[in-house]
């Protein structure tokens, strides 16, 4: 397996009492709750952790994009990627991803990624996402056109990287007389593209297409869903007439390792529960703006939600039971991850070893134990 | 009294339509929540007019052609619709999103219109006076914020929609986002063209509207040439429900005064 150390960069000093006076940790959470002196320290810690991950032997270090939230402090993840290029030598740097529909000229994204690819001499992995529903409240972009914008922006960016410029792009959402990406990307024909997703069948079909074969990552889902979606990708590839390689498949999960199961649970509890209940939890109207998914999938999700009843607080035990998070002794964590690898054939594991309010000290211990006690056993 | 549901085809688009009464045609364009059912408000208007209530393309069970991408497209659709409807000019009434569509239609071409009535129309912006954010409100807030008199909200909240009704509500919400998400409930160009509305116009507004503040009524009053602005006290965004009789009577009075 290949191992990615992924960071969200949450704002840990958040006053949780104040936080819960507001609808969500997103969009309407007053930025008066952000203290720049504390925030600057957060950036420092997180950059150190990402750099340390290279030292510990992770193959990839990764960041992503979110807006107007304490959940992740990276509205511009390429700035962090740029800093990481200067601090690291070997590790690939993944930006998984940029939210394509949120920008008005996707060529800007093509240019920035191309710059990073040159600055790192080809160490960049790009990720293309639509952004979660909250992002459409934060930016004002119309969620109804999210899919259309994503498709067009993708086509435009890949063309900007691989077609000789200048050329014109004529779309419904984007119309550009001159597309001429200077600099061109360092990698040929362009940096790898990863598609992190919650697993919509449309996305799977699209990512698996023979002309793309993009690496598909199931994010923050229980083990059954991870297995189901990754196997859907495999089946889809077979329908297209080829066998998906393990490198095309991966999943992302918060992980915590300590000497014993009991100790791991004790140390991980606050971080995991704050991630899901304080940072990530948002009302339905924010998470699922109309048009963000197709009408039929929205109807299905609403029915499922109605059947489940009111959203309750997630306990660490719930999250572990569903396999959304992996917490335990090295043996427990190895077994759980190996099981999912074996049923899916996935070769990419994206770990989140800092989560929620988990402090620097525990994060480092978690990283060290994962690198020394788990990673070697799951390597190819 | 309830109107009959019909289907109505213009070019390649089939929509649902409800019709009742007799006399000169009065076309009502519904708001972003879709066809509200045959309200007592319509029945009252139907005593004097032939009331025609189409369901907009993309809403409910009407066709949703891919080429309808914004309110301007819907307005163009309704110009085609009016061409085929009646030989006489029609009285056009629009509420909220429907008011916006009606205004977009009128600035393009008033030749099919006798009068224009806008009830709390969307479509323009007043800087410093933001519209309510119905896309971020919870379903309960969205209903409560519709009414000044909360007993109307209680009544609505007590009704649990059937699965089919819930699906239609979601369809309408999708279409509302398509048309009204960005810029939120207005077209920056519309205000520049309001002088093109050449028919007598009535603007009605609930004084306590939490969706589109009644302050907007002044802006319409200042820009539309032959306009009367009337404020309905103790009323929210749904005058046609909350003050059905008064609202219908104001419209009937306006139309009686303007009858050709």
Of A141, A286, A298, the CB nearest to B170: A298
Q: Do A142 and B181 touch (CB under 8 A)?
A: yes
Q: Which of A139, A290, A294, A295 to mutate against chain B (most B CBs within 10 Å)?
A: A290
Q: Which of A22, A103, A149, A285 to mutate against chain B (most B CBs within 10 Å)?
A: A285
Per-residue pLDDT, B87: 77
Q: d(Cα A235, Cα A230) in Å, to the nearest integer?
A: 9
- Per-residue pLDDT reduced to its tens digit, B116-151: 999 999 999 999 999 999 999 999 999 999 999 999
Tell me the residue range of the domain where A187 lies.
2-378
Instruction: Write out chain B residues lying below 8 Å of A141, CB-based.
Output: 182
Strands B113-119 and B50-54: unpaired
Tell me the residue range of the domain where B239 lies.
4-258
CATH number assigned to the domain comprising residue A356: 3.20.20.30
- Per-residue pLDDT reduced to its tens digit, A224-277: 999 999 999 999 999 999 999 999 999 999 999 999 999 999 999 999 999 999
Per-residue pLDDT, B2: 75
The distance of A240 to chain B (nearest Cα, Å) reads 29
Total domains present in chain A: 1
- What single-letter DSSP state applies at residue B233? S
Q: Do B173 and A144 touch (CB under 8 A)?
A: no
Instruction: Write out chain A residues lying below 8 Å of B167, CB-based.
Output: 299
Mean pLDDT of all residues in chain A?
Answer: 96
Average pLDDT over residues B86-101: 94
Instruction: Write out chain A residues lying below 8 Å of B183, CB-based.
Output: 140
Total domains present in chain B: 1
Q: In this predicted complex, what is the ipTM?
A: 0.95
């Amino acid at each position: 397996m290949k191992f990615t150390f992924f960071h969200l960069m949450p704002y840990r000093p958040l006053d949780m009492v104040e936080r819960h006076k507001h609808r969500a940790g997103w969009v309407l959470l007053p930025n008066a709750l952000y203290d720049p002196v504390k925030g600057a320290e957060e950036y420092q810690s997180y950059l150190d952790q990402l750099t340390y991950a290279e030292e510990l032997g992770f193959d990839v270090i990764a960041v992503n994009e979110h807006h107007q939230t304490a959940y992740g402090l990276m509205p511009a993840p390429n700035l962090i990627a740029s800093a990481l290029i200067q601090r690291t030598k070997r590790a690939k740097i993944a930006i998984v991803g940029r939210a394509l529909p949120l920008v008005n000229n996707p060529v800007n994204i093509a240019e920035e990624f191309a710059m990073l690819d040159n600055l790192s001499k080809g160490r960049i992995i790009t990720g293309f996402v639509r952004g979660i529903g909250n992002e459409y409240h934060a930016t004002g972009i119309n969620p109804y056109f999210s899919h259309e914008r994503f498709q067009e922006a993708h086509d435009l960016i890949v063309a900007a990287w691989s077609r000789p410029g200048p050329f014109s792009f004529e779309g419904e959402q984007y119309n550009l007389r001159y597309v001429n990406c200077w600099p061109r990307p360092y990698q040929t024909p362009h940096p790898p593209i990863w598609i992190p997703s919650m697993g919509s069948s449309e996305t799977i079909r699209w990512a698996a297409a023979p002309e793309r074969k993009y690496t598909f990552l199931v994010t923050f889902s229980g083990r059954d869903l991870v297995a189901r979606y990754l196997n859907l990708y495999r089946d889809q590839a077979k329908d297209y007439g080829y066998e998906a390689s393990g490198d095309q498949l991966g999943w992302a999960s918060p992980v915590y390792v300590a000497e014993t199961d009991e100790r791991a649970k004790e140390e991980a509890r606050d971080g995991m529960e704050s991630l899901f209940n304080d940072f990530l939890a948002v009302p339905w109207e924010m998470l699922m703006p109309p048009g963000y998914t197709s009408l039929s999938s929205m109807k299905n999700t609403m029915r499922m939600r109605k059947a489940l009843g009111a959203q309750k607080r997630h306990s660490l035990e719930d999250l572990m039971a569903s396999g959304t998070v992996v917490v335990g002794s090295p043996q427990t964590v190895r077994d759980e991850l190996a099981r999912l690898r074996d049923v899916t054939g996935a070769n990419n594991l994206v770990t989140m070893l800092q989560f929620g309010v988990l402090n620097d000290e525990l994060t480092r211990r978690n990283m060290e134990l994962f690198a020394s006690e788990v990673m070697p056993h799951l390597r190819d | 009294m309830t109107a009959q549901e019909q289907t109505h085809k213009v070019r390649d688009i089939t929509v649902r339509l409800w019709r009742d009464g007799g006399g000169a045609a009065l076309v009502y364009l519904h708001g972003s929540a879709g066809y509200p059912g045959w309200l007592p408000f319509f029945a009252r208007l139907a005593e004097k007019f032939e009331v025609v209530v189409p369901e907009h393309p993309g809403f409910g069970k009407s066709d949703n052609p891919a080429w309808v991408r914004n309110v301007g497209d819907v307005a163009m659709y309704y110009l085609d619709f009016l061409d085929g409807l009646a030989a006489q000019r029609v009285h056009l009434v629009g509420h909220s999103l429907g008011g916006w569509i009606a205004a977009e239609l009128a600035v393009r071409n008033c030749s099919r219109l006798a009068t224009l009535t806008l009830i709390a129309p969307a479509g323009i912006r007043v800087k410093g006076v933001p519209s309510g954010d119905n896309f971020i409100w919870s379903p309960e807030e969205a209903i409560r914020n519709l009414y000044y008199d909360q007993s109307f909200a209680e009544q609505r909240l007590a009704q649990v929609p059937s699965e089919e009704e819930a699906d239609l509500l979601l369809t309408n919400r999708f279409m509302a986002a398509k048309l009204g998400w960005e810029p939120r409930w207005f077209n920056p160009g519309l205000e520049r063209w309001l002088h093109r509305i050449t028919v007598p116009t009535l603007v009605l507004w609930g004084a306590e509207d939490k969706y589109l503040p009644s302050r907007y009524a002044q802006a319409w009053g200042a820009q539309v040439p032959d306009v009367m602005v009337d404020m309905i006290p103790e009323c929210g965004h749904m005058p046609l429900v909350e003050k059905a009789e008064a609202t219908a009577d104001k419209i009937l009075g306006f139309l009686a005064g303007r009858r050709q």
